[in-house]
Chain A
Amino acid sequence: MAEKGTLLLVGTAKGLFILQRAAGTEKWSIVGPHFAGRAVYSAFYDERKGRGDLWAAATSWHFGAELLKSTDMGATWDEPERMRIKMPANTKKSLENIWQIAPGADADTLYVGAQPASLFESYDGGETFKLNKGLWVHPHRKKWTPGFGGLAVHTVITDKKDPNDIKIAISTGGVYQTADGGENWQVTNTGVKAYFLPDQYPEFGQCVHKIARHPKKKNTYFLQNHHGVYRSRDGATTWQEIESGLPSNFGFGITVSDAGSVFIVPLDSDGKRFTCEGKLRVYRSRDEGKSWEPLAKGLPQKNAYEVILRDSVASVGNNIFFGTKNGKLFGSGDDGDSWKLIEGSLPEICCVKAYKI
């Protein structure tokens, strides 16, 4: 089979950039910004059923957040008369942002994680969406509180083989999951700390920044918390601390490569929120969190005060990418051993999504 090229969807505070690299080359093409001036916190490339559709959430702080679709790789975007994602009138809420677009097991299913903390679902390929009622009526919902970025469902992880298995993360609420396709949701934060609460191991209320699943081990997950890095081996139900050897346990993004390597970019505490010691270092674990090693080859090691947001670390195969709030986009093609600057002056990067096409 011919080697595939790479597609990067880079959402920024000022629009979406689409980068492509042909197979066997080092050169990237870049097109954008799409939706100039609007913030893009989530994007998704849907290749199921041979579609080749791009989805992106564009948020105008004036005119609202909306989900847009392109069937021609961004040459044109539809702009529906009525917004696709809307809070039902009986919620008395309005949509503030869209943080995640994720495929379901079925080729026509899409999930959208939103702010205020809610999950929307589509079973017709994105033609129509409806609010997931099971999560909305969850008795915990009214006790969830907004983090610095707002109160949102920012992570949605689905199982390609099991349409009933959905895991989500909420800041602040923590990890919730359903085994019945979204009718009922269980809270699964056991072992995850909430240092900012009097009860530091509550049932819920944790500020989980991101969770990622091991590509080959169905029940193994990794979690970057608001101070804390964890692993679960029981399907994101209970969590064990895996932060020994890290310069800080604070950070946002986390990803796992095909090789099973876990990548994070530690930041120096929630009070400072920039890279430790002014050095931009990615940390990799090749033993599921037992040990960590700093990766710095090709990354600035002096006066590098960067912030990497929760959805700005991504991988496809053993290619790893991350973007910073200062608009730098880095990539590695060797499972993190070395890094190259792809773009250096984009607007604040809010999300990076990587695909082979």
Chain B
Amino acid sequence: MSVTVHLSGYLKPFSGGETEIALPGEYATVGDVLDSLWQQHLRLRDRILAETGEIRQHVNIFVGSDDVKRLKGLQTSIKSNEIHIFNAVSGG
């Protein structure tokens, strides 16, 4: 299903100011969605994923209301067309 990615405002510098990005097409996993997101906004990639390819420790991605770190990470299935990417409530 096609999806809409909602970004935390803190990611606006890396998305050309956009916080809602519609991604037409069919996606099986979160990783597939992100690959499509990078096509539009490559700057987001290194800020959301670490060099290891994993989601950064203090970034959270939700499919619907499900935190994908509690599921299968980037392999989590797309069961909602709403994806949210937030910075975690951590810091000092």
A-side residues, CB < 8 A to B, are: 13, 60-64, 66, 79, 81-83, 86-89, 91-95
Contacts and interface: CB of A to CB of B under 8 A. Distances in A.
12 contacts: A61-B92, A62-B58, A62-B87, A62-B88, A63-B10, A63-B11, A63-B56, A64-B46, A79-B14, A82-B42, A83-B46, A88-B51
B51 A61 contact: no
B58 to A, nearest CB: 4
B56 A95 contact: no
Contacts of B42: 81-82
B68 to A, nearest CB: 16
B13 interface: yes
Contact of A92 (B47, B52, B56, B91): B52
Contacts of A82: 42, 45-46
Interface residues of B, number: 23
Given A82-B45, A83-B46, A62 B51 contact: no
A82 B47 CA distance: 9
Given A82-B45, A86-B46, A89-B53, 20 more contacts: A60-B47, A61-B90, A61-B92, A62-B10, A62-B87, A63-B11, A63-B48, A63-B59, A64-B46, A66-B46, A79-B14, A81-B43, A83-B46, A89-B51, A89-B52, A91-B51, A93-B51, A94-B51, A94-B52, A95-B51
Contacts of B14: 63, 79
Interface in B44-92: 45-48, 50-54, 56, 58-59, 87-88, 90-92
B8 to A, nearest CB: 9
Contacts of A88: 51
Contacts of B87: 62-63
B25 to A, nearest CB: 22
B59 A62 contact: yes
Contacts of A81: 42-43
B90 A62 contact: yes
A100 B59 CA distance: 26
A138 to B, nearest CB: 20
A142 to B, nearest CB: 18
B39 to A, nearest CB: 12
A136 B46 CA distance: 22
Contacts of B91: 61-62
A21 B9 CA distance: 36
Contacts of A87: 51
B51 A86 contact: yes
A354 B88 CA distance: 35
B73 to A, nearest CB: 15
Nearest to B45: A82
A79 B13 contact: yes
Contact of A93 (B48, B52, B88): B52
B56 A64 contact: yes
A64 B47 CA distance: 6
Contacts of A83: 46
B56 A62 contact: yes
Contacts of B53: 89
A309 to B, nearest CB: 15
A289 to B, nearest CB: 36
